[in-house]
């Protein structure tokens, strides 16, 4: 049954003409799977049901009818169609949004920096008029991206220095980051890895590079955890993803696989039964989903997350703190509460990394601390993410907390609770010293 589902899903592979993902450089042949796909009418009907996995929201349905009147619901829910029709040019975008001068100029002059790409599905969530609305600011460029300020770097986390072979970042002793692609379906304007996105010299979907990276992992027995990232690993075909997961899963000392992705948010159609059938074969497999704002928690995205959770995949979220987008307690509370309802545990809240042209996104550190203070104690502990700064220069993630431990007095540790009240803990066994 799993194979049958996989075949029907692969029967309509992404096109090669307009492909957002660089299909011309694919390295794994999946023609045998396509050839094996049954073509009868009976199976076609079955496939239709599989490819209509979600109930579409009224918002995306209206958008589809307005801007893509000739396509069927079947096509809209086909993730390959969404990838092929990702919006990348000012003409198409200006039909859908009233562009500000800054957006229009940035779209026209973005060459050389992070490209623009927005799936039609995600475009359906954008505010038509308001260029300052949260989701729109995340994916539509503005001229502020051209403003480079002190401290900004192409590679602020110094990942390249910790890369022993192409695609691998080995910073912490027991785990590696494996960058398996340089493409995403939709590009976030604050992307930490904008330096590698769609750069021809960084092309990462390459069998030789994958083999070298896998050899590195095989030869380093202290690596027990591999995080697939990119780019977005879930933009790879089922066939490639299964090949990668299968190879990594066979390495005896690798105890855990993780995938970092924004696909359930920007391309929920990708979370097909065939994909989840593959993923559940490689447990323990964890997933970190990049979620930014409660407006992203749509019926489609929720259904995708619930499907992943039902496949036994523990889901965590990664959220970048962004000025004017999610940097207030009320927005963040809505976001974390909504996530828990779809079984996504808030995991990290990141201080925005200082990539070039990011100053309009970055907040003071005090803002992140204020948000954590506004969550901790006021809501379920599971809803409170860890606020971290990924230290520029390669220091790794450093957690930041509001000051709950405020000093010592006569052998007691003085603690401040979420309401600001002071309590004592008789810490008799500890060496007494000033916290400050």
> Closest approach of Cβ 192 to ligand SF4, in Å?
6
The reply on whether position 350 binds ligand SF4 by CB under 6 A is no
Q: Which of 367, 293, 360 is nearest to 333 (CA)?
A: 293
The reply on whether position 188 binds ligand SF4 by CB under 6 A is yes
Q: Which C-beta is closer to ligand SF4: that of 230 or that of 273?
A: 230
Q: Which C-beta is closer to ligand SF4: that of 8 or that of 237?
A: 237
Q: Which C-beta is closer to ligand SF4: that of 11 or that of 289?
A: 289
How many angstroms separate the CA atoms of 267 and 405, rounded?
Answer: 43
Catalytic residue check, 128 = no
In 3-state terms, what secondary structure has residue 75? helix
Catalytic residue check, 390 = yes
The reply on whether position 231 binds ligand SF4 by CB under 6 A is yes
> For residue 19, with 0-12 CB atoms within 10 Å meaning exposed, 13-18 middle and 19 or more buried, which class applies?
middle
Catalytic residue check, 129 = no
How many angstroms separate the CA atoms of 32 and 366, rounded?
Answer: 55
How many angstroms separate the CA atoms of 203 and 181, rounded?
Answer: 7
How many angstroms separate the CA atoms of 82 and 15, rounded?
Answer: 11
The reply on whether position 360 binds ligand SF4 by CB under 6 A is no
Point out which span in 41-49, 209-217, 224-232, 393-401 binds ligand SF4 (CB under 6 A): 224-232
Draw the binding track, 263-292, toward ligand SF4 (x: CB under 6 A; -: no contact): ---------------------------x--
Q: Please identify the residue of the shown chain whose CB is closest to the bound ligand SF4.
A: 191
The reply on whether position 262 binds ligand SF4 by CB under 6 A is yes
Q: Which of 194, 192, 170 is nearest to 182 (CA)?
A: 194
**Residues from 290 through 329 that contact ligand SF4 (CB under 6 A):** 290
Structure-block tokens of residue 118? 């927005």
Q: Which of 225, 282, 276, 292 is nearest to 250 (CA)?
A: 282
For strands 285-290 and 256-261, give the pairing: parallel
Where on the chain is the footprint of ligand SF4 (CB under 6 A)? 184, 187-188, 191, 193, 230-232, 262, 290
**Which positions are annotated as active-site residues?**
171-172, 175, 184, 188, 191, 193, 353, 390, 397
């Amino acid at each position: 049954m799993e194979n049958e589902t996989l075949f029907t899903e692969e029967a309509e592979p992404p096109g090669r003409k307009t492909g957002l993902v660089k299909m011309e450089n694919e390295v794994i042949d999946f023609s045998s799977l396509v050839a094996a796909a049954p073509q009868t009418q009976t199976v076609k009907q079955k496939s239709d049901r599989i490819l209509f996995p979600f109930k579409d929201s009224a918002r995306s349905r209206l958008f589809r009818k307005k801007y893509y009147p000739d396509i069927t619901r079947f096509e809209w829910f086909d993730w390959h169609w969404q990838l092929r029709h990702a919006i990348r040019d000012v003409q198409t975008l200006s039909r859908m949004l009233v562009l500000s001068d800054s957006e229009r100029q940035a779209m026209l002059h973005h060459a050389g920096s992070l490209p623009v790409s927005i799936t039609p599905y995600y475009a359906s969530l954008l505010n038509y008029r308001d260029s300052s609305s949260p989701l729109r600011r995340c994916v539509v460029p503005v001229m502020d991206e051209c403003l480079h300020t002190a401290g900004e770097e192409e590679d602020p986390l110094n990942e390249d220095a910790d890369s022993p072979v192409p695609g691998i970042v080995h910073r912490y002793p027991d785990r590696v980051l494996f960058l398996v692609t340089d493409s995403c379906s939709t590009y976030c304007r604050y992307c930490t890895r904008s330096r590698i996105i769609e750069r021809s010299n960084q092309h990462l979907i390459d069998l030789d590079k994958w083999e070298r990276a896998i050899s590195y992992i095989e030869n380093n027995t202290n690596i027990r955890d591999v995080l697939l990232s990119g780019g977005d690993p879930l933009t790879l075909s089922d066939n490639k993803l299964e090949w990668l997961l299968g190879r990594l899963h066979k390495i005896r000392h690798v105890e855990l696989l993780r995938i970092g992705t924004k696909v359930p948010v920007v391309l929920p159609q990708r979370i097909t039964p065939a994909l989840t059938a593959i993923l559940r074969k490689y447990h323990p497999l964890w997933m970190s989903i990049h979620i930014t704002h409660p407006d992203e928690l749509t019926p489609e995205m929720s259904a995708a997350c619930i499907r992943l959770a039902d496949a036994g995949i523990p889901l965590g979220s990664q959220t970048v703190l962004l000025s004017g987008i999610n940097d207030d307690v009320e927005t963040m509370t809505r976001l974390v509460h909504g996530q828990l309802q779809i079984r996504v545990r808030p995991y990290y809240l990141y201080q925005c990394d200082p990539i070039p042209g990011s100053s309009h996104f970055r907040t003071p550190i005090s803002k992140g601390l204020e948000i954590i203070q506004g969550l901790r104690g006021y809501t379920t502990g599971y809803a409170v993410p860890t606020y971290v700064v990924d230290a520029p220069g390669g220091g790794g993630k450093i957690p930041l907390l509001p000051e709950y431990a405020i000093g010592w007095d006569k052998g007691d540790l003085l603690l401040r609770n979420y309401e600001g009240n002071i309590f004592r803990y008789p810490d008799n066994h500890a060496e007494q010293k000033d916290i400050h």
